[in-house]
Structure 1
Amino acid sequence: MNLSVTIKDVAKKANVAPSTVSRVIHNSPTISEKTKRKVRKVLKEMGYHMNENARNLVTKSTKAIGIVMKSSARESLYNPFFPEVIRGIGDFCNKEGYSLSLTTGETEDAIFEDVVKMVQGRRVDGMIVLYSKKDDKVVPYLLKQGFPFVLIGKPSTNMSGITFIDNDNVQAAREVSEFVINLGHERIAFLGGSPEFEVIQDRLTGFQQAMEQAGVDVRQEYIKLIPLNRTDGIKAIDELLELKEAPTAFLVMDLLLGVLLLGVLAEKNLKVPQQISVVCFNHSEFIEFLSTPLTTVDIHTYQLGYEAAKCVFDLIANPEMMEKSISIPTKIIKRESHFVAEKEIK
């Protein structure tokens, strides 16, 4: 790439006016196809590349989309969900010539400050928020600022004015719970996820609906709503396994927690699936490399990100566009981590 070549240099070699070269670069309909071909040939021969920063100053566009993480980037990127959803966002943005800017704060307040800086400093043209939770400051702030953004997850407050992409998490949890119940399990643990996140509340609702419909008691000691980290995860798993009537099946809200569960069970010489069934939400290619490949609910994470990116571009182009919601279907992928219990549900 030759950074020293200017529009004037190209115009001189192509024997046209500099304004003509500029119009060709911007694909103006006022320039004939013959002239466009000639100028484009010279542009290529001379290795001219437009100064993106200069163009962005003129168009008042940053050519960047902000990504608001649920927690610190360091912590979030350990979770297979976030790299995959960002891959979906990135693939669409790349087609549009946009880059991504991620929040890097280590705390909730620091992440919010990152968002404020992006908005006030006009560092991005729009934002995608990768979570939905109660008492969150980010979404109300973006609404108040009238800034284009899309939410991945169902809004926890009034949906007016919010475009969001989500799965039907109540239905998904109900279907996978029915799957486990129909295997013959009654002692089913619901493990993982902080109750402040809407996705966890919806999945818990679906689980409870399936249990009640099957006539199986929902035992509160089997429900562990916890932050998704190793310490809290091990503590919750230990408490469940130490119950007088320990669960025979685990419905786990996060893939990393599912892998942690497999490790704890192995340490206690409890075999999956021979003694305990494990079913997880989320999907990743690395599952196939586990000693016991997990049965999972594929929420199509890549598609969540891709559709969110499409929607935020629509909002940038048309800020007055009515809000909308898109539901991405889910699918149970049956592998080797579940078994048919001896006691059948009548």
Structure 2
Amino acid sequence: MIRLKDVARQSGVSVTTVSHVVNGTRRVAPDTEDRVRRAIAELGYRPDSIARALKSNRSRTIGMIVTAANNPFFAEVIRGVEDNCFAQGYSLMLCNTGDTDTRQLTYLQALRDKRVDGLIVMTAHSGPDFLQALARQPLPTVLMDAAPPGGDDIAVVNDDSCLGARLAIDHLLERGLEDIALLTGPVSHPRSAERLAGALAALEAAGLRPPASRIVATNLLADGGYDAMRQLLERRPTPQAIFAFNDLVAIGAMRAAREQGLTLPDDLSVVGYDDIELGRYLSPALTTVQQPIYEIGAMASAQLIERLEHRRPLQRLLELAPRLVVRESVRESVRDPVRASVRGAAD
């Protein structure tokens, strides 16, 4: 194992000088620094990051707990987090939980054991044990896609999901589409609850009240959208449009509709949510509510690093505005009269 004194001997300087070069704790003459860095390269010296963290009480590492990094939505958020961390000289330690309580709790403890400086958390579902452990742990934490925080030194970065849902519903209503099915997420998911509230408020403002049969919960994955769409197609009449609470659900629903012989968007219009890259390459290209996915990740890490570097308190809640992206999956107008059975339908 190569140590500081080996580098000092190779470069002809003191151990203290080598330490200043490695840690950037004091200015060293340029020619001396060059000798030290050449010796480091020749010997293959690597600083012991754990020892440095113990000494300085800082690891310049942020831990991130996510549901699944291979989900296109989470992947884009992670990219925003990681790009900003790298730009600020921080490393990112990523943990995929699969949304199981055991893994969430295990990774939370593992990240603390690794002496990360702060946490970023974005999970689709979190049990009470994990949420309580998160609130009790002492590290500054930024949550994304979550309910407002309940602990100290915890912040949330979200999009305005209620507004986003209103944009989706209003777009469908403007085209004369009133028989709208809602493919939601699990009841416990905070963003899904907000999107449902926004969608129902927009429908109510138009004098519409969808029956319970037009609201189907999903797991927010493509297979959930596929199964939900098949449920809707077993009922009559077929809805004129669906608003899916994320793009993966919309993609699964579109597949199920095609398998049953429906033409999109003539027989069924579809609006998604998120604006993942795949949506623009579908046929028809997916109309969706774009939340600034990359920016949410970048803002979360920026908030946390600002707290770590300058001791500034975390802002409790930051909301970014979504916007509607109109493509091809919603037809321009409805030729047939709207089915009156939907207006004021009873649950």
Give the TM-score of the pair, scaled to structure 1. 0.85
Deviations 1:279-318 (A, max 9, x none): 1001222223322210111111111111111122233346
Q: Match of 2:31, as an amino acid?
A: K
Q: 2:132 aligns with which of 113, 126, 140?
A: 140
Change (3 A) 1:211 1:320: same
- Cα distance in 2 for partners of 1:89, 1:251 equals 29
Determine if contact 1:185/1:343 at 8 Å carries over to the other structure: no
Superposition RMSD on alpha carbons, in Å?
2.7
Determine if contact 2:149/2:156 at 8 Å carries over to the other structure: no
- Cα distance in 2 for partners of 1:105, 1:212 equals 36
Aligned pairs for 1:120-139 (under 5 A) are 121-131=113-123, 136-139=128-131
- Percent of counterpart pairs with the same letter? 26
- Cα distance in 2 for partners of 1:315, 1:202 equals 28
Q: Paired residue for 1:73?
A: none
1:165 Cα deviation (Å)? 0.3
Determine if contact 1:90/1:100 at 8 Å carries over to the other structure: no
Report the 3-state secondary structure (helix = DSSP H, G, I; strand = E; otherwise coil) of the residue aligned with 1:216.
coil
Determine if contact 1:251/1:280 at 8 Å carries over to the other structure: yes
Q: Paired residue for 1:257?
A: 249
1:226 Cα deviation (Å)? 2.2
Determine if contact 1:153/1:165 at 8 Å carries over to the other structure: yes
Q: Which moved more, 1:100-109 or 1:234-243?
A: 100-109
1:37 Cα deviation (Å)? 1.1
Determine if contact 1:132/1:156 at 8 Å carries over to the other structure: no
- Cα distance in 2 for partners of 1:114, 1:21 equals 35
Q: 1:65 aligns with which of 38, 62, 65?
A: 62
Pair 1:38 & 2:34 matched: no
Change (3 A) 1:42 1:344: farther
Q: Paired residue for 2:345?
A: none
Pair 1:224 & 2:216 matched: yes
1:256 Cα deviation (Å)? 1.6
1:113 Cα deviation (Å)? 2.6
Aligned pairs for 1:161-240 (under 5 A) are 161-229=153-221, 232-240=224-232
- Cα distance in 1 for partners of 2:69, 2:192 equals 20
Aligned pairs for 1:1-346 (under 5 A) are 4=2, 7-8=4-5, 10-11=7-8, 16-29=13-26, 31=27, 35-48=28-41, 49-53=45-49, 54-70=51-67, 76-95=68-87, 96-104=89-97, 107-119=100-112, 121-131=113-123, 136-155=128-147, 158=150, 161-229=153-221, 232-317=224-309, 321-339=313-331, 340-342=333-335
Determine if contact 1:258/1:280 at 8 Å carries over to the other structure: yes
- Cα distance in 1 for partners of 2:290, 2:253 equals 19
Change (3 A) 1:104 1:232: closer
- Cα distance in 2 for partners of 1:268, 1:136 equals 41
Deviations 1:201-239 (A, max 9, x none): 100011011111112223221111222345543332122
- Number of residues of Structure 1 aligned to a counterpart in Structure 2: 332
Q: Match of 1:68, as an amino acid?
A: I
1:23 Cα deviation (Å)? 2.1
Determine if contact 2:135/2:150 at 8 Å carries over to the other structure: no
Deviations 1:155-191 (A, max 9, x none): 2564765311001111111122111111111101110
Change (3 A) 1:56 1:161: closer
- Cα distance in 1 for partners of 2:249, 2:259 equals 15
- Cα distance in 2 for partners of 1:232, 1:287 equals 17
Determine if contact 1:194/1:227 at 8 Å carries over to the other structure: yes
Determine if contact 2:7/2:40 at 8 Å carries over to the other structure: no
- Cα distance in 2 for partners of 1:277, 1:293 equals 11
Q: Match of 1:113, as an amino acid?
A: T
Determine if contact 1:165/1:326 at 8 Å carries over to the other structure: yes
Give the TM-score of the pair, scaled to structure 2. 0.85
- Cα distance in 2 for partners of 1:16, 1:179 equals 70
Change (3 A) 1:319 1:178: same
Q: Match of 1:61, as an amino acid?
A: R
